[in-house]
Amino acid sequence: MGADLAAAKASLRARLLAARRDLSPEERAAAGRELRDAVLDLPEMQMAGTVAAYVSVGTEPDTRGLLFALWKRGTYVLLPVLLPDGDLDWASYEGPDSLAPGTRGLLEPTESRRGVTAITSADLILVPAVAVDRAGRRLGRGGGSYDRALARVGAAIQTVALLYDGELVARVPAGPHDHSVRIAAVAGQGISRLR
């Protein structure tokens, strides 16, 4: 990745992460509920037998209510386990009690690991993002874990980024190894289908 691209990503990431830190816990909780309801109403979600998701951390839009709702309705949910090399392994979510502290402050599933290719069995994938643009270009935290995971997934699989209001932006700087998403779920705005 070129220095200019890295700098552009870092600048946008810093600005949006600062805005997230300014949200109150009540605002973050409300956004999580809005996103849960919007995502559960997606026709693609209602038809999905297997969903790859993630447990939110820090100021990310809360996913715990969404994970619980999916699990309660019988959807098979895969959650990531961060590997030492930054790649993602996957294991099943069996309710809130099936999570334990993992590396870097993450909550990870305690069930048996399914391997890095388990994500390819998902009918829909929920992806963390700091920003997304109308072309679907996604800005993550900068580690590349989700870009590696999404590289294994076919183009027909729906990928959904969960965002706060103001994070669906005009343009996200992206390079050849960055993978796009097809849907943005934005708190306060609902669902946006991307190009």
Average pLDDT over residues 65-70: 97
Average pLDDT over residues 63-67: 96
Token pair, residue 184, equals 């943005």
Backbone angles phi, psi at 192, to 5 degrees: -125, 125
Ramachandran assignment for 148, one of left (phi > 0), alpha (psi -120 to 50 degrees), beta (any other): alpha
For residue 182, the tally of other CB atoms under 10 A from its CB is 19
- Alpha-carbon distance of 102 to 82, in angstroms, equals 8
Token pair, residue 77, equals 């949910």
- Confidence bin at 1 (pLDDT 50/70/90): low
- Confidence bin at 154 (pLDDT 50/70/90): confident
pLDDT at 101: 93
CA 96, 49, 189, 131 torsion: positive or negative?
A: positive
Ramachandran assignment for 174, one of left (phi > 0), alpha (psi -120 to 50 degrees), beta (any other): beta
* pLDDT(90) > 80: yes
Token pair, residue 136, equals 């679907």
Average pLDDT over residues 121-144: 94
As a CATH number, domain 3-193 is: 3.40.50.10420
